[in-house]
Structure 1
């Protein structure tokens, strides 16, 4: 069976058989078999190709890495664990935002603490102008899940929808920014996600606690890891269900 993920990744990055063959020091026919016959390259070759196309080995070859090895790599993907989101230095959020060159993805209901950075929206607009792919997922104020979250956090059914409306107003300037997309969702928010290229801040949500008091994981994507990729796929799933807001 052909490896369509590998084929697509190479095409997206403008890589032909000869370029891959040269980088991996193999015959172009070997590269062709990796694509058309689904052959699995040696680990050193997988790592080289994954780096070239900026994808993980698990994405390109889902069955190539043994489960126990994935577990080991997943542990290494955890850069730091914070007991509370509010204990993360503001400098960390700012540094990751300013350093992003390819992807900025945010999944939240409101995330109004982001407004503490007065340059946040302008930075997103500048990044989009530099061809960074900016995707923002905000909570739909009319969605039942937001009212339920307010009940669960003990702050009232109207609190989260009200915050979401404020968040929509805060992100409104991105509506007219080429390269930036904003959508609203009404899914259960198990985690808030802040992705900047290969770094991701995952704010877990705990029943009875507001988000700022819940733990946060700082992850860094590794080629053979599963942890970062799991949250990334979750973001894509919500994105597929979300809709363009009625500003």
Structure 2
């Protein structure tokens, strides 16, 4: 079975069989088999290719790392756990945003606290102009899921939808910016996700609590780990079902 993830990663980075063969010190035919036949490279080759395409080994070859090893690495992916989102230092948010060069992904219902930063729109536009791919997924304000979450947080039936509309208005100036995409989703959101390249803040959702009062995990992606990749794939699943907002 072809390895489409590897094929896509090479294409995105402008690499061909010769580039990879030279980096891994193998024959181009070997690289071709890794792609077209789904052959799994030796660990030293996996590390070389993962570094070359700036992806994790676990993403490119999900079955290559033993489950017990994935669990061990996953523990190391947890940088820190904060008891509440409001406990996360403002300096950390600023540091992660400033350092992001390739990926910025936001998955929230409203993310209203982000609008407290008056420079955020300019910062995101500048990142996009420098080549970063930015994807912002907000809740659909007319969806049942947003209404239900609003009730579960104890803030009233329509309060969260109003917050979503405020966030949509805040991000609207970015709607036509190259490399920036904004969509609305109607999924049951178990976590809000904030990805900055290989770092991610995972804000859990706890019944009866607003997101600001729920715990946050700071994750850093490791090549053979599974934890960061799980949340990244969750983002992708929501993104694929989300639709452009009705401004």
Deviations 1:110-140 (A, max 9, x none): 1111122110111011111112111101111
Q: Does 1:227 align with 2:194?
A: no
Q: Which residue of 2 aligns with 1:156?
A: 156
Q: What is the distance in 1 between the residues matched to 2:38 and 2:137? A: 35
Residue 137 of structure 1 aligns to a residue whose secondary structure is strand
> 1:212 maps to what in 2?
212
Partner residue in 2 for 1:12: 12
The 1:184–1:74 alpha-carbon spacing in structure 2 relative to 1, beyond 3 Å, is same
1:243 aligns with 2:243: yes
CA distance in 2, matches of 1:21, 1:136: 36
Q: CA deviation at 1:94?
A: 1.0
Counterpart of 1:144 in structure 2 is 144
Residue 129 of structure 1: aligned partner: 129
Structure 2 equivalent of residue 95 of structure 1: 95
How many residues align? The count is 247
CA distance in 2, matches of 1:125, 1:8: 26
Residue 35 of structure 1, CA deviation: 2.1
Cα shift at 1:98? 1.2
- CA deviations on 1:185-236 (whole Å, 9 max, x unpaired) are 1111110011011110010000011000000011111111111111111111
Matching residue of 1:66: 66
* Corresponding residue for residue 120 of structure 1: 120
Q: More deviation in 36-45 or 234-243?
A: 36-45
Q: CA deviation at 1:41?
A: 1.1
CA spacing shift, 1:7–1:177, aligned 2, 3 Å: closer
SS state at 1:192 partner = strand
Partners of 1:142 and 1:3 lie apart in 2 by 39
Paired residue secondary structure (1:219)? strand
* CA apart distance, 1:44: 1.2
Superposed CA deviations along residues 167-189 of structure 1, whole A, max 9, x for unmatched, are 11111111132221111111111
Matched position secondary structure for 2:175? helix
**Unpaired runs of at least 5, structure 1:** none
SS of the residue corresponding to residue 176 of structure 1 reads coil
Q: Which residue of 2 aligns with 1:26?
A: 26
After TM superposition, give the deviation of residue 30 of structure 1 in Å: 2.2
TM-score (norm 1): 0.96
